[in-house]
Structure 1
Amino acid sequence: MPSPFYTNLITQLVSLLDPSLPLTSNLANTASLLYHAYPATRNINWVGFYLTGTHKAAKPDTLYLGPFHGQVACTVIPFSKGVCGKAAREESTVVVTDVHAFPGHIACDSASQSEIVVPVGVGGVLVGVLDVDCKDVGGFTEEDRVGLEEVVRVVCERGGW
């Protein structure tokens, strides 16, 4: 069960998301809500989505930058690289305490020290990942994993896929 912080955030998210809107609008608002909901003491520096490609030139087993909030980001991530790639490849949440100790970490923002990535699946098909970065080593806990997995569940249900 999500913590009070995430329960409150999810309540806001449910009222914010509108399945009749374009997916991009809902994902953009989700990223912004998350980014601004974390207290300044959490040092969250990036929240966003990477999506599997639906465009003509999309490659299989590749994530493409979607709506986000934070510094400029990497635009293409193969499933074989980084934390996002691992979460997509294994279709399971990945929590990294220290990104510098993670083999193959992709440093889009050198300020990021820890990361959590939650896979996004709709109808049994991986469609992307939710990625959250923190400026502190050990920035994410089990509470974050549970809460962000619930956020993703709501986004899958109400995001307009």
Structure 2
Amino acid sequence: MPASLFDNLTGEFGDGTPIRAISDKYRYIKSIESNLSRLFRLRKGAYPHNPAMGVQDGIEINTMLKSNRKGLEEELTKMILYFEPRISKVRYSNWQYRTESGTVICIIIATLVKTKGRVPFKAVFHHAVGGNSIEIATVANAGNMVGIEASTDEFPDD
């Protein structure tokens, strides 16, 4: 399955990986990962043509996670489903909050439109003095990211 139009036009995924460096079989997933990464790195309201694009500031995510995790999940799901049409359903697992670093970690389980298969993505929201950063990777490629490890075996069928 092909990469997105944006990835094809630039010739690379959001992390700089050339499209041709990824096997045809994995390009579809890598393209979704790339798009989610772009979405999650953009601060909500920063794109004037579409203020719904992006995520809240790290402090707000930390606060929402503590007080209203369901609301945070609903907000993230709404954004993902709107801006990533190759995903039909989203669930969350393994939420963690690291007080010492202000880091929030979760697994996003995305159901794909074409294959109906599920792909787990690890999301790491870093909040630190001097800025925020967000990392998104498929769980299989998340080995160098902070925190939890998971496999698709941990997510039972619906």
TM-score normalised by length of structure 2: 0.35
Q: Using CA pairs below 8 Å that are at least 6 residues apart, which structure has the higher relative contact order?
A: 1
Larger Rg: 2
